[in-house]
Structure 1
Amino acid sequence: MTTDFARKDRAAFGLSGKVVVVVGGGQMPGDTTGNGRATAMLAARHGAEVVAVDINFDSAQETANLIIAEGGKAYPVQADVAEKQDCQHIFDTVMARSGRVDGMVYSAAVNPPFDLGTNSMTTENFNRGINVNMLGAYHCNLFAAECMQKNEGASAGSIVNFSSIASLKNEIGLNIGIMPYALGKCGLNYITELTAVQFADAGVRANTLMLGPIDSTLGNHDSQELFGHTPDEVDEAYGEVVKLKMGRASTWETAYAALYLLADESRFMTGQQIRLDGGAALVR
């Protein structure tokens, strides 16, 4: 894509010729689309070859199939991002099959099970949450950036990490049920900044998209399964923290924000924490 932004015939947010890896590109069953799947599909609609990564291979394959059915290019990779070797496997596979990495979106996240009555969690589940939400982000950022720095040009690649306002609003993190998620996202915020600094000279950018109340499969599932909310109670709880009157955002709005960060239009932006939260973080 040309970076002559003044051209009136320029296609905005074009990703043609780019390979975009979406970690967490599958999703759990549910009535809504997940952030990762929506981002993968939108990137493909804007011309990218998409690699959908998920611990559930069938779910990653389903995302790829949806993209292919729309005329796009995609393939799945199975990986458990809690394991360093699996993170390395993602990018080894992409380099062998596609020859390059231009974009990476880290959308993988987990809220481990816990006992609501005693507000307790096993050490194994706590560690699992940290490993997925933070350690996996570290490894994927590092391995993606190492691939991107091999690309030619001043803008070698873009990393987009999905964080959460749970890393800012500490009242959300007081309950053990959300703590590995909130702590993991705090670490992810810092990992993004370190990646941005470390790989700036190579032309690699890294930014955080800090999500608030999004109508996502994960958010709806965990609010109901972990905290025992009904669907209506989930909407009500999220609605209490949104300052804008339209309620929760859809995952497609997440995807469009990620699209901007992946595209050349954002080439002068790195190391930033961008809030997509309906104003929820304004009152702290």
Structure 2
Amino acid sequence: MKHQRFTEKVALITGSSMGIGKATAILLATQGARLVLNGRNLERLEQTANELKSSGFEVLAVQADVSQVEDCKCLINETIEHYGRLDILINNAGMSSRGYFEELDPKVFEDMMNINFLGCVYPSRFALPYIKESKGSIVFISSVAGIRGLPETIMYCASKMALTSIAESLKVELAEYDIHVGIIYVGITRNDEGKQVIGKDGEYIPLKSRENRNAQLPEEVAKSIVKNIKKRRFKSILTPLGKINYFANILFPRIVDRLLIKAKDRIRKMNK
């Protein structure tokens, strides 16, 4: 049946105790997938797992920090020990940052690359042998900020841009194995209460609510992610603004430069 497209498939979604990751987990579960949830906050992770289990879904919850090599080894090992296979890895865990380059504590550079870049590289590396067996999917959740560098979120942009290189290289390296590699460029998305970003001094700060902005719901983003996997697409750029951003940077890069220079103060104010 169409709505059971993922029956018996095992899907691991990093950063899935809230937001886009949670919405994607729910959608995959309704289509038959067996889930592996992941997060750093054990209380929130268990709450999400119990919520899904109460709806009759098959769920394994694994607390792990994907920026740490050993945690990622354990995450994949527990998945295989529990289910015996892995079909879909969605590298969703990530965090944004705030501050101009000259203001940033050097710790922010390291933290952002560890979380957003290595936090996708490590799980993918250890999952790869099992994805080869299942001829499954490895998907990276990037951002429209990973298409073009923006002021105030410089390290977020850099870490998300790096995912494009990984995805492009893997697509070539793994072509002979019939593995699907996908990358999703997500636009502004409504955030859950309690969502945090890294401030210029390296401390976590609350993310400003996006309710008054033209933001997608996590459930809408989840639909695009699942569609990418079903269609085995490579790149998916979400929202009309994201598509304009993509093509404008190719066709009119100097105009984009001028527009961003004019808007940089407004962008900074909006992020406060």
Partners of 2:216 and 2:121 in 1: how far apart?
A: 27
1:229 Cα deviation from its structure 2 partner: 8.4
Asked if the contact 2:196–2:207 (Cα under 8 Å) also holds between the matched residues in 1, the reply is no
User: 1:175-190 residue pairs with structure 2 within 5 A?
Assistant: 175=152, 178-190=153-165
Which moves more between the two structures, 53-62 or 130-139?
Answer: 53-62
Partners of 2:207 and 2:68 in 1: how far apart?
A: 32
Q: Deviations over 1:215-271 (max 9, x none)?
A: 12389754999899864xx455x4xxxxxxxx32110011111112333xx14x3xx
When residues 125 and 230 of structure 1 are mapped into structure 2, their CA distance, relative to the original with a 3 A threshold, is: closer
Higher helix fraction (1 or 2) = 2
Query: 2:48 aligns to what SS in structure 1?
Result: helix
Which moves more between the two structures, 141-150 or 86-95?
Answer: 141-150
Q: 10, 20, 26: which is aligned to 2:11?
A: 20
Letter in structure 1 aligned against 2:54: A
User: 1:1-284 residue pairs with structure 2 within 5 A?
Assistant: 10-12=1-3, 14-27=5-18, 34-112=19-97, 120-151=103-134, 156-170=135-149, 172=150, 174-175=151-152, 178-217=153-192, 221-222=196-197, 231=209, 234-235=210-211, 238=213, 247-263=214-230, 266-267=231-232, 269=233, 272-283=234-245, 284=248
Structure 2 stretches lacking a partner, 5+ long: 249-272
Asked if the contact 1:18–1:103 (Cα under 8 Å) also holds between the matched residues in 2, the reply is yes
Asked if the contact 2:195–2:206 (Cα under 8 Å) also holds between the matched residues in 1, the reply is no
Partners of 1:76 and 1:229 in 2: how far apart?
A: 25
What value does the CA root-mean-square deviation take over the aligned residues? 2.7
Structure 1 stretches lacking a partner, 5+ long: 1-9, 28-33, 239-246
Letter in structure 1 aligned against 2:30: R
Aligned-residue identity in percent: 23
Letter in structure 2 aligned against 1:273: K
Number of equivalenced pairs:
243
Q: Deviations over 1:52-76 (max 9, x none)?
A: 0111122222221121111111021
When residues 115 and 280 of structure 1 are mapped into structure 2, their CA distance, relative to the original with a 3 A threshold, is: closer
